[in-house]
Chain A
Amino acid sequence: MVLPWAWLVLFFLLPFLFVLEISFAEAIIARPPYRPPFAITDDGLVIRLSLFSYRFILGDPLYFHAWLKSLLLAASATLLALLLGYPMAWSIARTAGRRQVILLALVILPFWTSFLLRVYSWKLLLQGNGPLNHLLIALGVIEHPLRILHSDWAVLLGLVYSYLPFMILPLYAQLQRIDLTLIEAAQDLGATPPRAFRRVILPLSMPGIMAGSMLVFIPAVGEYVIPELLGGPDSTMIGRVLWNEFFANRDWPMAASLAVLMLVVLIAPLALFERAFGRLPEADDKGKASP
């Protein structure tokens, strides 16, 4: 019990408290570039909490739009990853023996290459005179090269591509535990195959769907590399804004405030998830063997 808590305190809570402190600081030109809100001077403890960053963020529609775009792109990517990943996870779960191991290895294989390189290669694939456009023109599908690169579509593509394994793996783990006779039982009791899916398989997949969606959605919201490499000038996702505040503007309190707000926004769906699925029964058929 102690170790996980120590881990959380040391590597999550403590750094977060630093970020929280900085978010209430005032930006100055100095090193570090902020005036700490808590300082011990000759007059004793001086507390100077500044809400400037928060006010600024909430008052400027630029941030709001970046938020909205991030949430929208992340949500779309999650949905697409789910639609693509579910049938893949299902067929992997229903494949037997060695072939299943191979399929799982193929899902994980991309992680063996640098994430940055993989996103960068999409840039080459998608560019105006890249292989994709060449192929489509050769096939006669289009006449002029598509301008996918540096658009939200490219960002969406990059997000789905990069995070698909995070959807497939928890889904696979869940689906693999579902007893197939449950489908037969549902059909035997009068359910058509689609109804059997909706009433039995889908509810039993829910923990996997939720876990996969969280694993895709949460990092996708704060994604920086993908919009930076594949996105256009208007693809201002919040991660990119944060990076700009921190490195380009050297406004640490502003960047910290954005990080805190991001956390608050992301905690809400997590809490909902806990409430809804924290007490779901196991999907396997343990009942088989026990008396």
Chain B
Amino acid sequence: MEQEPAMKNGLDGPNAPTTEPTGDPFLDRPWENPQAEPFVRIERLGKSFDGVPVVRDVSLDIHRGEIFSLLGGSGSGKTTLLRMLAGLEQPDHGRILIAGQDMTRVPPHRRPVNMMFQSYALFPHMSVAENIAFGLIEERLPRPEIRERVAEALDLVSLSDFARRRPDQLSGGQRQRVALARCLVKRPKLLLLDEPMAALDKTLRERTQYELARIQERVGITFVMVTHDQQEAMAMSSRIAVMDEGRLLQVGTPQEIYEFPASSAIARFVGTVNLFDGRILEVDGGCTLVDVPALGSRVRLDHGIDLPQQNMIRIAIRPEKMQIERAEATDETKDKVNRVVGVIEEITYLGIASTYHVRLSTGALLRVHQPIRTREAQLELKWDDTVRVSWHPSAPVALVD
């Protein structure tokens, strides 16, 4: 394997790492370039605690300049995977390569990697500036350089006025920025973030997501982030790896994960979804017709499927990809494709949209998300109204679990 060229991922080199020759068609999506050398390569990594496997045979490539998210519930192994990247946990088998160098057995203090802990782990007996200088002192840098780089890092996270404060005199958001600055000042090749927003309240969280992405762009350091919050992963990441029970379920861009989930588990975990079992009636080139008993109708998909007729598959339709309109009960005709009739059982008004729970005559419940375009629209549909729900053939996704 070829060595990565020596690089300096510095605060002072905002466009150093990600720039490649202009005109590169893979500039924004290096993972699609078969020739691209991954920046982090995880090879068949496995880890058990007391005989219980936590990470199972995970292989993953992460490219330079990415914000890569490990998304999963608790116990999915995402944090253990992150801790193995930091060197805080030793894998039972497998390898970790960073910038072409085998890091599997390198202790944490010698890895070009820094981690932002979920609790931030700021040193309570040190001021903000001392916390940030901690790692530079360990590098035995000359005093003037430490002072300069600490000032630079404080400036980056807009905390210059708080240099002398102690961590317990800071707000949660400020503490998070100290933790970030303490990592970035080391100019790591890779920054690991363990649930970076978990300790922040909701409004602060959204602002911080944007702020973090902005800083990442500026310093050009590759981020690997662990989160259980799918919205956070979608909002920030270049790519997401969905994990469950120690395995990678799917790796892809936020759009790929959301629009083309690989399984119903992923579809359910990322966003809300209507899931129904169906049987393939006919596959004809670009189209598939599926009989869905729970809907009491048939679903047409605008793509073919590599399965024979009569095979069982699962149909997933996102609530926002359906239309809802008032209808008469008599509209319920026999030959229906991509539309059903039902009664509104529940309306959740969200301001920017409403969620309708529509009960079908088959007993199934359908969730439909409808943006509210005018002020009056909300009033048009009421509880117990009979409605027709329809969707375009491109809306449903066929899943084979």
Chain A contact residues, CB within 8 Å of chain B: 179, 181-182, 184-192, 195, 199-200, 203-204, 280-288, 290-291
Contact = CB atoms under 8 A, between A and B. Distances in A.
A209 to B, nearest CB: 13
Given A190-B139, A195-B138, A291 B171 contact: yes
A262 B134 CA distance: 43
The 9 closest A-B CB pairs, nearest first, are A189-B135, A190-B138, A185-B121, A181-B121, A187-B108, A291-B172, A187-B109, A288-B119, A203-B125
Contacts of A188: 86-88, 108-109, 113-115
Contacts of A179: 119, 121
25 contacts: A181-B117, A184-B88, A184-B108, A185-B115, A185-B117, A185-B121, A186-B134, A187-B109, A188-B108, A188-B109, A189-B114, A189-B134, A189-B138, A189-B182, A199-B134, A203-B125, A204-B125, A280-B125, A282-B124, A284-B124, A285-B124, A287-B120, A287-B175, A291-B171, A291-B172
Interface residues of B, number: 35
Contacts of B200: 291
Contacts of B115: 184-185, 188
Contacts of A191: 109, 134, 138
B201 interface: yes
B160 to A, nearest CB: 21
B123 interface: yes
B122 interface: yes
B4 interface: no
Given A184-B88, A291-B171, A291-B172, A192 B121 contact: no
Nearest to B108: A187
Interface in B64-94: 86-88
Interface string B100-137: 00000001111001110101111111000000001100
B109 A182 contact: no
B145 to A, nearest CB: 15
A290 B170 CA distance: 10
A283 B175 CA distance: 16
A44 to B, nearest CB: 60
Contacts of A199: 134
B211 interface: no
Nearest to B173: A291
Contacts of B155: none
Nearest to B179: A185
Contacts of B166: 281
A203 B88 CA distance: 23
A199 B109 CA distance: 14
A191 B107 CA distance: 10
B167 interface: yes
Nearest to A199: B134
B307 interface: no
Contacts of B168: 281-282, 286-287
A283 B86 contact: no
Interface in B159-205: 166-168, 170-172, 175, 182-183, 186, 199-201
A281 B124 contact: yes
A285 B119 contact: yes
Contacts of A189: 109, 114, 134-135, 138, 182-183, 186
Contacts of A290: 172
